[in-house]
Amino acid sequence: MAKIIVIGANHAGTACINTICDNYKEHEVVVYDRNSDISFLACGMALWIGQQISKPDGLFYASKESLEAKGAKIHMEAEINDIDFDKKIVRGQFKDGSKIEDTYDKLILATGSTPIEIPVPGRDLENVQYVKLFQNAKDVVEKLKKPEIKKIAVLGGGYIGVELAEAFQLLGREVVLIDMLDTILGTHFDKDFNMRMQNLMASNGVKMAMGEKVQEYIGKDGKVAAVKTDKGTHEVDMIISCVGFRPNSLLGKDKLETFKNGAYIVNKKQETSIKDVYAIGDCATVYDNSIDDVNYIALASNALRSGIVAAHNVSGKEIESVGVQGSSGIMIYDLRMVATGLTVEKAKGYGIETEVASFKDVQKPAFMENVENGEVEIKIVYRKDNRQIVGCQMLSEYDMSGAIHMFSLAIYKKLTVDELALLDLFFMPHFNQPYNYITMAGLNAIK
Ligand SMILES: Cc1cc2nc3c(=O)[nH]c(=O)nc-3n(C[C@H](O)[C@H](O)[C@H](O)COP(=O)(O)OP(=O)(O)OC[C@H]3O[C@@H](n4cnc5c(N)ncnc54)[C@H](O)[C@@H]3O)c2cc1C
């Protein structure tokens, strides 16, 4: 029997605690989390804020009680602020000020990530909001009830910023989306895809302030009144800052090996550079199969899998992560975009020369009557040297998202675009076409 301490009980921590408790009941699991709730699905934040779901209750899937029923000892509002890795002791304090000191045989760091603040004057003004925790979402929902919150600036054109900008616009607020890059969603899609969503947002009334660098938040009577950028000033009543997240690795940054952004470097068993210490979720690196190297990709999907891998290894069953491809998706005003692996631009940044195989067609044969039959665009990115697929982007108003999983697997298994062209994809009119857009894109690549 081992005593396992888990610091952090959100998505990575919860997956890990569940897996240990479900499979290895002989171990003692003790958990510390500084927050008051467990497992808030931040992915539902924009839906709740935008009133597309009526209440947040369904955005939690675990609790102190549900984890304790499985045998774990859960301490909430319990912040760990020091670890003695030599003596295997954690120290901290509860919200009421009482001290924590506990020993472990094995330690799991699941301390996640924290929002990046743009270091500009005015950061402390009222109505400058960050979005990460349930409490943050609650604040925004409450503030939106005030009639004076009419104009909102969303900073950062990543997934979260784009979703929130849409939510505020649907609520009838005047919205400006500001990013210093030329287009939104640059991490996941190439410009041709990004512009489709960007234009759609603009046509729905979201002001797209791309290529603008934030310089200052200007206040009036202690509240934010404007955002000043290098290109102009936007009058606003609230700022939502979502320009990214950094790994929360304060506890081990001086002792454990870290990545360039500070994340704990882990191997495929989630082990850090110190024996018996594991790191999972947003505070740790991942193995990225699209570049065949260690990388940082903060997603709940990665967090869950890393928690499961660590749980087995810490409990004595050796398993290895299969790495990730950074698969993701977004839907705004009925436009769905999904992606996995590298874009052409991103590949260029890694010094990988690529080519592209694209195709556009409706999902089902044209003879099908009275059925939903959306047009789908696909863009497959493959290496010029060995023709291995390293990325894929798809776009449609039709739900084609299932296909991107195949491309995730293709990247992991190092499939070539030539193999893809001849891959056995079934045909049946209710579902697709014999010369479907995946086969056609592949065939285009081997012309
Ligand atoms: C608005 C939003 C939308 C998102 N949408 C998606 C999506 O659609 N799909 C997707 O895959 N991902 C999405 N993500 C990302 C996803 O939420 C994160 O990848 C995920 O939360 C990571 O889980 P984690 O457990 O590693 O870390 P976190 O969620 O950051 O949790 C870390 C936990 O550690 C605790 N902790 C930290 N330090 C200490 C300490 N010193 N002592 C005690 N406890 C501590 C914290 O209280 C927290 O509970 C979204 C994120 C946001 C903010």
Three-state SS at 114: strand
> What is the whole-number distance in angstroms between the Cα of residue 113 and the centre of ligand 1?
6
Ligand 1 atom nearest 35 alpha carbon: 47
Residue among 11, 60, 107 whose CB has most ligand 1 atoms within 8 A, to mutate = 11
Which residue shows structure tokens 């081992």? 2
| Closest residue by CA, ligand 1 atom 24 | 112
Local confidence pLDDT in tens for the 447 residues of the chain: 899 999 999 999 999 999 999 999 999 999 999 999 999 999 999 999 999 999 999 999 999 999 999 999 999 999 999 999 999 999 999 999 999 999 999 999 999 999 999 999 999 999 999 999 999 999 999 999 999 999 999 999 999 999 999 999 999 999 999 999 999 998 899 999 999 999 999 999 999 999 999 999 999 999 999 999 999 999 999 999 999 999 999 999 999 999 999 999 999 999 999 999 999 999 999 999 999 999 999 999 999 999 999 999 999 999 999 999 999 999 999 999 999 999 999 999 999 999 999 999 999 999 999 999 999 999 999 999 999 999 999 999 999 999 999 999 999 999 999 999 999 999 999 999 999 999 999 999 987
Q: Can you tell me the distance from the alpha carbon of 7 to that of 10, in angstroms, rounded to the nearest whole number? A: 10
What token pair was written down for 314?
């810490």
| Closest residue by CA, ligand 1 atom 4 | 43
Show the domains of the chain with their CATH numbers. Answer: 3-114+246-314 (3.50.50.60), 117-243 (3.50.50.60), 337-445 (3.30.390.30)
What token pair was written down for 304?
């869950």
3-state secondary structure 266-333: CCCCCECCCCCEEECHHHECEEECCCCEEECCCCHHHHHHHHHHHHHHHCCCCCCCCCECCCEEEEEC
Catalytic status, residue 430 = no
| Closest residue by CA, ligand 1 atom 33 | 8
| Closest residue by CA, ligand 1 atom 27 | 112
Catalytic status, residue 43 = yes
Q: Is the CB of 249 under 6 A from ligand 1?
A: no
